[in-house]
Amino acid sequence: MAIHLVYFEDRDGNISLPPTDDTPCPPGYDRREANTLAEVDRLQKRLQAATYARCQQELLRDEAAFAEARERVRSSLTARIASAATTEYEKEFLRHYIQLREEKREKYRQRFACDTAYLEMRENDKPRNAEELLGESL
């Protein structure tokens, strides 16, 4: 079986996979083909790297967009903790709330790392021996 994978690439190295092989090449892109397993593997690594870079950019943009709002909330809660009008019970509750928010942010960062690593892990999920390949004991 021959390998024939068509893709489009622009001058900046951005890759686009067409829905069908006869899809016309968009303006600003060059039509390319991957015809060997090694070429397909290289293309896949480039696509994975681009996906990872895009996800990193999104994470940084989200962090920057919400940093000011998070700091405003934290500042407000810290001022409330310092207030003499706040009961000791409320102060303890607010301290735990702030701590929980930070723990959740770290959890979401870890989730991001897991999600972006999924493509690589999925590709490496191959049988390691004949028993796994056949699904039965030899």
| For the chain, domain boundaries | 59-121
Give the 3-state secondary structure of the chain. Answer: CCCCEEEEEECCCCEECCCCCCCCCCCCEEEEEECCHHHHHHHHHHHHHHHHHHHHHHHHHHHHHHHHHHHHHHHHHHHHHHCCCCCHHHHHHHHHHHHHHHHHHHHHHHHHHHHHHHHHHHHCCCCCCHHHHHCCCC
- CA angle 15–11–18, rounded 5-degree value: 30
Residues of the chain with pLDDT under 70: 1, 112-138
pLDDT for position 88: 92
Q: Can you give the pTM of this predicted structure? A: 0.56
CA atoms within 13 A on the CB side of 92: 3
pLDDT for position 26: 92
37-77 pLDDT per residue, tens: 889 889 888 988 888 888 888 888 888 888 888 889 889 99
pLDDT for position 122: 57
Q: What are residue 6's DSSP bridge partners?
A: 33
Distance CA 26, CA 7 (A): 11
